[in-house]
Structure 1
Amino acid sequence: MAAAAKKGVAKYKLTTRTPAPGNDSQGIAVTTKVAKKYGLYTISDLQKKANKIRFVSQGELDQRLDALPGMVKKYGKFDFKSSKDYDDSLKYKILSEGKGDAAPVSTTDGQLANGNKYTLLKDDKHLWPAYTGPVGLLGYPRLRSHPKMAKALNQVDRSLHLKP
């Protein structure tokens, strides 16, 4: 927890509950058809087969230190068959129309729930940190007067799975 957050928690006599499970991080997804064809399940796999992959980007990926430059540093050079920039909102449309094979994604994008269409590649060298689920705050006085409240709320939080 950041220092400012800790200070606020102490100042207002709050307690944190158990974080909800999940990870809303960055990643790379490929069409499941391409994943099966080339055996792509990790970003390391993608790096080795990049010359067969048409990459769909949104432009900024090429510049950000936590994106392609970070991928190159962790995994090695990605010599994609092609790389074209599109508006980020079009990435799944481009992939579903067969105009590209792989794209940067948020690991909680709803489209990734359909494993028949898209495969999220495992970040096997841990380039991107986990952005864990929400953490609720509760006031100490309320918690003391309702001791079962934290337990009940933690049960709700555990049901809020953010599936990567």
Structure 2
Amino acid sequence: MKIVSTNIGERKEVDYRGKKVLTGIYKYTVDEPIFLDTNEVKGDEISDRKHHGGVNQAVYGYSLKHYEFFKKLYPKLNFEMGMFGENLTIDHLDETIIHVGDTFKVGDAILEATVQRNPCYKLGIRFNSMKIVKQFWNTTFCGVYFKVLQTGFVKKGDEFEQLKNCTKNPTIADLYLNKKKEKGI
């Protein structure tokens, strides 16, 4: 696995059903290294700290390969790296083989896979269609949240070196499917 894009977002106010909503989902690619801290990516907007950021969700990674699936559903949309709100776009991140607790060295940082990302209405705002939320739930393309065990800089081209493989733990996709069942989706 290798980083193909590092992405951060700024605070943006959008209209959602007549209400002003703050979001950081509009990520954009940055060319300089980004710093992965214990609770967040430095310089990245987190508008909803109840559901994003914090120790177990400090960094969000998403697979470039998943983009192809959604591009077919939204051919008129201009897809940019960070489109799904991820900090790290990774060439091949596979939620079906990454287990909770798997640990990776990437750049100067050490990351531990913790939980799945559950889609919310802000993804619908980003895609200009609420259909994306259900379409996202109907895949295992949820991406991976990481805990930062060792802070440090990462950049485009940095490779993930697996330090620990926790095959006895559930995969990220398993967590996601369980959450989907729990929500009755």
State the TM-score, normalizing by the size of structure 1.
0.28
Structure number with higher relative contact order (C-alpha < 8 Å, ≥ 6 residues apart)? 1
Larger Rg over CA atoms: 1
Q: Which has the higher strand share?
A: 2
State the TM-score, normalizing by the size of structure 2.
0.26
